[in-house]
A and B are shown apart, each in its own frame.
Chain A
Amino acid sequence: MTLIRSKTETPNTQKLSISLLKSLLKSKTGIVGFIILVAVVVVAIFAPILAPYDPTLINPTKMLKPPSWIEGGDPSHLFGTDNLGRDILSRIIYGSRVSLLVGISAVVLAGIIGMLVGLVAGFYGGWVDMILMRLVDSFLAIPNILFALVFLAVFGPSVPTLIIVIGVTNWVAYARIVRGETLSVKEREFVKAARTIGVKNSLIIVRHILPNVMSSFIVISTLSVASTIILEASLSFLGLGIQPPTVSWGGILSDGRDYLATSWWLATLPGLAITVTVLGIIFLGDWLRDVLDPRTER
């Protein structure tokens, strides 16, 4: 019992965070990822201070100005302007807010749903498990983006629907891990013993299942924030995600597509923002996987 309990004791978590920090300093890509993510978070939080203009401010006198370092560029608009004369830099800065908000909230929601489904399936077994696992199969057979598109078509696009949609489509990976862990924990002697003496299921979940799935959870969540940001951008690009006047990277990109022949920066720069952000999160996630979850292959 002592061995098992020690997993959740505080001195170890403190030690763990110190050793995590040490190994982060050793991993070059981990550090790059960490720095990128911190930078994006700071930009999102302080967008009103950092952005030189109101991202929705239309300026008919400065339409389609190229970035300032290019001939014909306007020094007051670093990344140029769009077809309505809006400042691209400001739009990209504000776009980070939606990406992070949707990315993180949707992943939290997916984690909660997946955890519940996995626990129920693992604990109750039998036909409940069978039905839930068929549900998992069904979700695997429909591409995430297709499900999200149908859902958005029905409920109409808005930030909350987007979060719910992506959360509801992404829970499968969590459910599988939690179910697997629940099944194996259920079979262990001390859990059987605990149950026979009437220990509550909730206690078993908190003591034995959560600590064991935590590291996989952190790794999957990090990597899903990356794929969620791409999914949100894709939906916004298709016109079914974030709607104007709210600024999103996918939306800016979609606007820019029509001016590809004349104003390349409109479509290029927001895509670059997405790529760099996602790259940072993947770096961080891969590093976390190496450190926390040695079972999974790189």
Chain B
Amino acid sequence: MSESNVVLNVQQLHTSFKTNSGYVQSVKDVSFQVQKGETLAIVGESGSGKSVTALSIMGLIEKPGVIEKGKIELEQVDLTKINDKEYRKLRGNDIAMIFQEPLTSLNPLFTIGNQIAEAIKLHQGLDTKQAKVNVIELLKRVGIPRAEKVYYSYPHTLSGGMRQRVMIAMALSCKPKLLIADEPTTALDVTIQAQILELMKKLKDENNTAIILITHDLGVVAEMADSVAVMYAGQIVEFADVFTIFADPKHPYTQGLLNSTPKFYEKNEVLQSIKGTVPTSNSMPIGCRFNPRCPYVTQKCLNENPSLKKLDSGRQVRCWLVEEEGETLV
């Protein structure tokens, strides 16, 4: 793990939102690194702080939200310290983002070509003509047929899958070092999902882009990710490479997530759900945040929140059971 390969280094990120009753932390003490060509999946239920983490990296947390603490280093530059203008130069250029809803993420009043060319013209200083050549090239690369025609089309004339391809083309238009994909396939049909994931993989291999993939779909994780961070209630509860997570989940929450996902090779299995819901940021339980839903809860879990403990082989788990019993868990 040589230092120069690390594209993104997030350390102790705390992001909060100001409400009528004081500050509410939606991301607490999150740290991770992403390397060149690596895909990191951030997994969790809705409300776990995944998207807020992504928006914090993009610098798109807006009032009443605020990054309270922590570092977000993109190739050794701390993004929490740079000004607005410098951030704008990075956004859409070095870091790009794909959103969950392709249907509403494109402006209905401008053509596809106009919207993709916008970023290219801005960051690469090309004129409209040159940008158009690039855009059509991009559209072809993301597998859009009749790219010249689509260039002049409006978003509403394209299907959801096509629009997500457009979003990907837009995100990749300036060859970003880091791509954040927030639930890129959730809103799409299953067959289209597979195509989009395939496309993302292909493009990642071509450009050696680092990807942060935010999802709640473990099928997508298995397909795409190199390493996985499981988030619960604003904190990372388990971090490991993808094989370890699937083969030997340590945290009860990760285990619960895996048990609630159907596996096609196991017949007659009983799917389990994790009972209860993610606590809201202003009603956090004392002690371990997962304790109300945890099947192995102990007195200690009710009193103290465990820290993220590093185990061997680089994996990390936030659980008292792991701290006390070493690596063996019930």
- Is chain B in direct contact with chain A in the complex (CB below 8 A)? no
Query: Which residues of chain A have a CB within 8 Å of any CB of chain B?
Result: none
